Each structure stands twice: as structure tokens, then as C-alpha cells.
Amino acid sequence: MNFFLSELADKLGCELQGEDRRITGCNTLEQAGPWEISFLANPKYVGQLDSTRAGAVVLSPEYKDRFDVCLLTPNPYLDFARIMRLFAEEEEEEAPGISEHAFIHPEAEIEDNVIIHPFVSIGARTVVCAGSIIHSGASLGRDCRIGRDCRLHPNVCLSPATELGDRVTLHAGVVLGSDGFGFAQSETGLEKVPQMGRVVLKSDVEIGANSTVDRGTLGETRIGQGTKIDNQVQIGHNVSIGRNSIIVAQVGIAGSATVGENVVLAGQVGVGGHLTIGSGARVGAKSGIHRSIKPGAELSGYPPMEHREFLRYAGMRSRLPDMYYRLKRLEAECDKLRAQLESKETRNEPQE
């Protein structure tokens, strides 16, 4: 598969500078060859323009004098991503069809133009809409709904009544609708609280490999449109996440927490149950959130502090032991001064 630069410029609405040529793939500045296109997004790497062998570079107009053949755009990262997608789509083309090695319940409803791989199991009354692809070993319980153009990678598991919007991507090993962690103390031990709700994902949600989303205890666990979740993230029962939020790998969100829109939770963050994370909040890696957070807050640490305060504190930690000994010395010093002063007073008093 290949494109002329002029074709790419047309499709993306970019300006082509330099001679038109045929491009066969995408690569980094360091590794691209003369038939590949690359990009410059971070000014830190501008020096690589001198040494790259790339046939063309997507870059911002301010660097147009630094390379001969380029596509000019104010957002080179976004436009390069779109070029990558053009190549990726070409590469992936697969004929629609349902493997004879899949198990489809007779009451399931599979629309046209769907691809179902071997060893997929689909329960009663589940609907898979047109254009969706379900990879091998995925297990869809009864009464699920998979929107249009979804992609479920191998071994994904959906509990009964899970609902996905359109263009949802679930990577391998994702589990939607596992039971929430709810137990009531009885005289004889812990008794399970039955988990009867479900999971609802809006359109354009993407969830990374081996992440898990518990079903609501009652009602729903909900993830809003366009929210992106990385690998090995855990989302508890009845959590609600707004639109376009970003949840990085290995984050855990406890039951009944509410996360707003455009929130960013960095890697390995933990969020306690029943809390609210306001829209636009940004939480630093490894933080532990144990109280609700206001919209737009930037916090880090556990318990969390203002991100700047966290950095100041963190930079001082190593001085703590030394401070302790200096403090002790100072106390002794003060005692000595006081004693000296008092003895002096005593000695001086008779003179007065």
C-alpha cells in the first residue's frame, strides 16, 4: 500500500512543500527510509531533521526551512496519526464472515459485515452491529449489545447485559461486568452481596489489555464517550466516568466513585470509593485519592497535595534526618544560652 504526498495533503488538508513522491509507510525520524514519511512534534528533536533519511516529514510551518519535502500543519502529531491510520486501515482489511468454529446462540443477532473469529461464544439475545470484529476466544454473555464498528480483541469477556456504543475497542483479556467486591458481615463470616447491575460503555471508548470493569451492584457502571483507559486498570462497581477522560495503566478506582470529564489519572493511581473527581482534574502517578477533588485540581502523592507542593516536599524529604539532628542541637544550644543568660542575670543583679 502506498500514497502520493499530494494525496495525503489533500486528505488531511495540509500544505505540501517540495516535490511530490510516493510514500510506502510511516516511521520515526531515526528509522525512516527514503520511501517513508516521518514527523516532528517535539521541538527537542529538531536536530534529527539534519540526519533523517525520511522521504518526507510532517511538521509545523515554523520549521519549514529545516527540511525540503514536508507536509505543513499546525498539529503535526495529530496529522501524522491520521496518516498512520490510512496505512493501518489498508493493512488490516479482512473479509467479513463468521467462523464455523464460533458458537453463536440461535437467539443472538449478528448484523451484516461482522467478523467473528474461532472459539468466540455469543449468548442469547446479544446483538452485534454492522462492522464489528470479534477476535478468537471472546465470550459475550446473553443480552449484550455491541454497537457498530467495535473491535473486541482475543479473550475479551462481557457479562450478561453489557452495552457498548459504536467504535468501542476492547483489547485482549478485558473483562467487563465482573462482580463488584461487596460482602456483608454475618454471624458466620462474610456473605456475598449479589451483583445484579451491568456495564455501559459509550461510543469511542477504548480499554487496554487485561483491564477489568465491575458491573453495578444495582444499576450501572458507566464510562463516557471518548474516554480512554490503558492496560490493567481496575474500575469498581457503580463507578461513573465522564467523557474524554484518560486513565493510565494500573490505576484502580473503587466502587461508586464519580470521575468527571477530561480528567487525567496517571499510572498506578488509586481512587477511594464514593469519591468525586471533578472535571479537568489531573492526578500525578502513584497518587492515592482519599477525598473528593475539585474540578481542575492538580494533585500528587498519598494523601494528595497540590502538585507543586508535592514537588517541594519531595525535594526536602532527604533533609529530614539532618533536620532532626540540627533541631536537637539547637534545643541544647538554646538551653545553654538561657542558662548563660540566667547565670549572668544572677551575677549581675547584685550590681544593680
348 makes contact with a copy of itself (CB under 8 A): yes
323 makes contact with a copy of itself (CB under 8 A): yes
320 makes contact with a copy of itself (CB under 8 A): yes
CA distance 208 to 201: 14
CA distance 212 to 219: 18
Span of 15-23, 45-53, 63-71, 171-179 interacting with a copy of itself by CB under 8 A: 171-179
Q: Are 99 and 116 in contact (CB under 8 A)?
A: yes
CB of 334 to a copy of itself, least distance (A): 5
Minimum CB distance to a copy of itself smaller for 294 or for 338: 338
Q: Are 269 and 282 in contact (CB under 8 A)?
A: no
Q: Are 27 and 38 in contact (CB under 8 A)?
A: yes
Residue from 2, 31, 47, 90 touching a copy of itself (CB under 8 A): that is 31
The one-character DSSP state at 74 is: S
Query: How many of the other CB atoms lie within 10 Å of CB of 123?
Result: 20
CB of 238 to a copy of itself, least distance (A): 9
CA distance 18 to 38: 15
CB of 246 to a copy of itself, least distance (A): 7
204 makes contact with a copy of itself (CB under 8 A): yes
Residue from 11, 111, 191, 296 touching a copy of itself (CB under 8 A): that is 191
Residue from 22, 28, 61, 111 touching a copy of itself (CB under 8 A): that is 28
Minimum CB distance to a copy of itself smaller for 35 or for 77: 77
Nearest to 171 by CA among 189, 193, 153: 153
DSSP-derived pairing of the beta strands 121-122 and 103-104: parallel
90 makes contact with a copy of itself (CB under 8 A): no
201, exposed or middle or buried, with CB in 10 Å at 0-12, 13-18, 19+? buried
Minimum CB distance to a copy of itself smaller for 62 or for 342: 342
Span of 10-18, 62-70, 108-116, 209-217 interacting with a copy of itself by CB under 8 A: 209-217
The count of residues in the chain is 352
Helix (H), strand (E) at residue 49: helix 48-51
Instruction: Collect all residues with Cβ–Cβ distance below 8 Å to 11 and sequence separation of at least 6.
Output: 82, 86
341 makes contact with a copy of itself (CB under 8 A): yes
Mask for 274-313, x = binds a copy of itself (CB under 8 A): -----------xx-x-x----------xxx-x---x--xx
Residue from 2, 34, 190, 291 touching a copy of itself (CB under 8 A): that is 190
219 makes contact with a copy of itself (CB under 8 A): yes
248 makes contact with a copy of itself (CB under 8 A): yes
Residue from 59, 114, 270, 281 touching a copy of itself (CB under 8 A): that is 270
CB of 159 to a copy of itself, least distance (A): 8
Mask for 38-57, x = binds a copy of itself (CB under 8 A): --------------------
Residue 273: φ, ψ to 5°: -70, 150
CB of 331 to a copy of itself, least distance (A): 6
Helix (H), strand (E) at residue 205: none
Nearest to 213 by CA among 183, 278, 262, 168: 168
CA distance 117 to 106: 17
106-145 residues near a copy of itself, rule: CB under 8 A = 117-119, 121, 135-137, 139
The separation between the first and the last C-alpha atoms of the chain, rounded to the nearest angstrom, is 104
